[in-house]
Structure 1
Amino acid sequence: MRHLWSCILLIFLISCNSDGTNRNPFLQEVSFRFDLNLNLPLYSNLNTIGNPVYVGNNGVGTRGAFVMRTSFDTFFAFEASCPNHAPNNCSTMTLDGQNVVCSCEDYTYNLFTGEQLNRPDDGKRYYDLLFYRTTQSGNIITISN
């Protein structure tokens, strides 16, 4: 009986796989931590809901991050490199109101949801923006991965 349970457990462990289908193959998930002080003029837009800022400092994500206050006490941060191709000379997106646009293909993404707004209907897989963690402590917003 003990041998039977060992075989069942072994079969169960072998049959489990780490399904990487949700992982974006174009963007490396780099580890970083960066603090934004809301008292500084550079980040003053974050004191109002719906006013995003681009943080392009070295060591912040792959190509920087877009940060936006989405409610009174909630901030979202997303990778600034387009999630639907490998980083290249046109992949750093630009702000367009509360959206960001990739100049390579004109893909547009919403900063409230991270969702791609103009997803082609060609049967290929497309990725939404890569999300980064945000925490708030007083006037300091920390973005990290």
Structure 2
Amino acid sequence: MKKTSLILSIFILLIFSNLTINSCSTREDTVNCFPNNPINVTLNLNLPAYNNLNYDSGWIYVNEQQSGTRGLIIVRVGNSFKIYDRNAPHICPDNNTTLEVKDNIAILCPKDGTRWILRTGQPESGAKTSLPPKTYTNFNFDPASKILNVYY
């Protein structure tokens, strides 16, 4: 009886261990250690802090509550937006992997110098990865009120 209970306990432990490992499996668009935090941000583009998003190629950092683990980079692209997570998609997060905008045209990973094109997210030549920054496509924009909602 004790042997059966022990085997059953080990079997159940293995099943739960496997479920836990699989729930953190590799994502196709980032490294497997990429944090997965909820995003729920509402921006009023009538406010001065978000004015850059009223113009094509304008961008801002968003570091509010519920804007991921390190914040977002939001870029106006024509009549739409590109929304990037500030965690480097190809390196496990540490102190030097928060993405930055450089010269209003590129996104830079300070840890290894990898650069992406700001408007498209495509890696520049010589990039250490073919992964683009994690991009969020769930957003609503009301042009009349200039309210941008980003969620994930």
Aligning the two structures, in what range does the TM-score lie when normalised by the shorter sequence? 0.7 to 0.9
* CA distance in structure 2 between the aligned counterparts of 1:21 and 1:65, rounded to whole angstroms: 19
Identical aligned residues as a percent: 23
1:129 alignment counterpart: 133
1:87/1:20 Cα in 2 relative to 1: closer, same or farther (>3 Å)? closer
Gaps in structure 2 of 5+ consecutive residues: 1-24
Q: Deviation string for 1:47-79 (max 9, x for gaps)?
A: 1000111111232012100001101x2111000
- Report 1:1-145 matches (<5 A): 22-24=28-30, 25-71=32-78, 73-96=79-102, 97-117=104-124, 118-120=126-128, 126-132=130-136, 133-137=138-142, 138-145=145-152
In the alignment, is the contact (CA less than 8 A) between 2:46 and 2:146 conserved in 1? yes
> Aligned AA for 2:64?
N
User: Match for 1:37: what amino acid?
Assistant: N
TM-score normalised according to structure 2 size: 0.72
- Quote the offset at 1:105 in angstroms: 0.4
User: How big is each residue's C-alpha offset from its partner over 1:19-44, in whole Å with a ceiling of 9 and x where there is no partner?
Assistant: 96624213123222101110111100
Give the CA RMSD over aligned residues: 1.9
Gap runs ≥5 in structure 1 = 1-18
Higher helix share: 2
SS at structure 2 position matched to 1:112: coil
